[in-house]
Amino acid sequence: MLKKTIEQAFNEQMNKELASAYIYAAMAADFAVKNYNGFSRWMTAQAREEMAHAQKFYEFLLERGGRPLYDTLEKPQKSWDSVRAAFEHALRHEQFITKSIDELVNLARKEDDKAAEIFLQWFVTEQVEEEDSVETVLAKFELAGEDKRGLYLLDKELGSRE
């Protein structure tokens, strides 16, 4: 039987994952209207990943006899001053999500919910990858520069993300 504390915390995380998708979809739209189609494609893929993360929580809740509950999502920012500013925002956001996952692990341990703890291990590993992929893009800004040519090259490179 799923404890109420875990059910509530997992629901909050499901909604945070959906909010992440919303933020990245808004970034993708902002990039698209500015003709950065590669950056837009990268963020669209990121938004889809977040939807898949939310779905994992949804399925876990149902499998354990819980009730997935969709909450109101905060309106995302509409535009960013630069491509780099958007990726810096994405990194801050991923760090926030990492902290949130770590707190869930602590809760699962406190409640002695082994299944929840094992389920969360995937997210612990995933967050390492999530932060790393954004940090890699930010490092590329250092290499390519943020003049028009540098942005053009990076846009082209990031557009190859599947």
Name the site residues for ligand FEO (rule: CB under 6 A): 17, 20, 50, 53, 94, 97, 130
Provide the token pair at 6. Answer: 């875990």
Find the shortest distance in angstroms from Cβ 17 to ligand FEO.
Answer: 5
Nearest to 77 by CA among 20, 142, 14, 27: 27
Find the shortest distance in angstroms from Cβ 106 to ligand FEO.
Answer: 18
Max CA pair span of the chain: 57
Instruction: Determine contact, residues 38/156, Cβ cutoff 8 Å.
Output: yes
Find the shortest distance in angstroms from Cβ 11 to ligand FEO.
Answer: 15
Task: Decide whether 51 or 144 has the Cβ nearer to ligand FEO.
Answer: 51
Task: Decide whether 17 or 113 has the Cβ nearer to ligand FEO.
Answer: 17
Task: Decide whether 41 or 53 has the Cβ nearer to ligand FEO.
Answer: 53
Distances (CA, A) of 44 to 16, 26, 65, 101, 113: 17, 9, 32, 23, 34
Using CB atoms, what's the residue nearest to ligand FEO?
53
